[in-house]
């Protein structure tokens, strides 16, 4: 009805989708938080428009629109599961690389996994601290330990330290050897 009444100049569809998400989550369908129905609609805007047009031209029978939206939700759910499957496979590929004889904690493993997927990424102490909910000294020591192990390189800009994975990190982790 919000899209039909069209109370706003722009954003009626987005507002309707926000209300949909809110309603789903409120009713206990927490997975809706991770669905992207807007992306599905953007991929095929003509189908969305036709579903709306059929509803308007057939005595306001919302069956057309509901069937279309159910298909959109099904496809968004399928996209979510494909994404989760892809990420799971990535982690399965990375996990053996991160199993080393060295004492690497879960925070450091997460950083190394990220570095393997994002070559060239830079890491700083404060964002790392916030992400993992640890004190500054713990975050600093985690990063310095990874540098000492040869997995990261440290550089200083002003008073701040930035860390970046060594170029051959995957080989280094697979060989479980220290870079000298």
Task: Give the tens place of pLDDT for each residue, 118-135.
Answer: 889 999 999 999 999 999
Q: What are phi and psi of 156, to 5 degrees?
A: -110, 135
CA dist 80 to 16, 21, 35, 74, 102, Å?
21, 15, 6, 10, 35
- Render pLDDT for 27-69 as a digit per residue (tens, 0 to 9): 999 999 899 888 898 998 899 889 888 888 888 888 998 999 9
Q: Considering the chain, what is the average pLDDT of its residues?
A: 86
- Domains of the chain by range and CATH? 2-88 (no CATH), 106-175 (1.10.10.10)
Residue 91 predicted with pLDDT over 90: no
Q: Which residues are annotated as a binding site?
A: 10-17
Angle made by CA atoms 49, 51, 55, in degrees to the nearest 5 = 115
Residue 156, sorted as left (phi over 0), alpha (psi -120 to 50) or beta, turns out to be: beta
Confidence of residue 178 (pLDDT cuts 50, 70, 90): very low
Q: Which residues are annotated as a binding site for ATP?
A: 10-17
Residue 6 annotated among the catalytic residues of the structure: yes
Catalytic, out of 6, 106, 114, 132: 6
Instruction: Classify residue 8 by its DSSP letter.
Output: S
């Amino acid at each position: 009805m919000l899209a039909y009444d069209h109370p706003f100049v722009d954003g009626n569809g987005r507002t309707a989708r926000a209300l949909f998400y809110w309603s789903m989550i409120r009713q206990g369908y927490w997975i809706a938080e991770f669905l992207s129905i807007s992306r599905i609609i953007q991929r095929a805007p003509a189908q969305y428009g036709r579903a709306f047009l059929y509803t308007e031209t057939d005595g306001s029978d919302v069956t057309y629109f509901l069937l279309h939206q159910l298909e959109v939700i099904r496809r968004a759910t399928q996209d979510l599961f494909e994404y989760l499957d892809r990420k799971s496979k990535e982690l399965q590929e990375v996990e053996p690389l991160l199993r080393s004889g060295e004492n690497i904690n879960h925070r450091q493993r997460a950083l190394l996994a990220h570095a393997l997927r994002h070559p060239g990424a830079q890491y700083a102490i404060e964002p790392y601290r916030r992400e993992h909910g640890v004190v500054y000294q713990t975050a600093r020591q985690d990063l310095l330990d990874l540098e000492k192990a040869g997995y990261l390189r440290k550089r200083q800009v002003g008073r701040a330290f930035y860390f970046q994975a060594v170029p051959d990190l995957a080989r280094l982790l697979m060989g479980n050897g220290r870079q000298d």
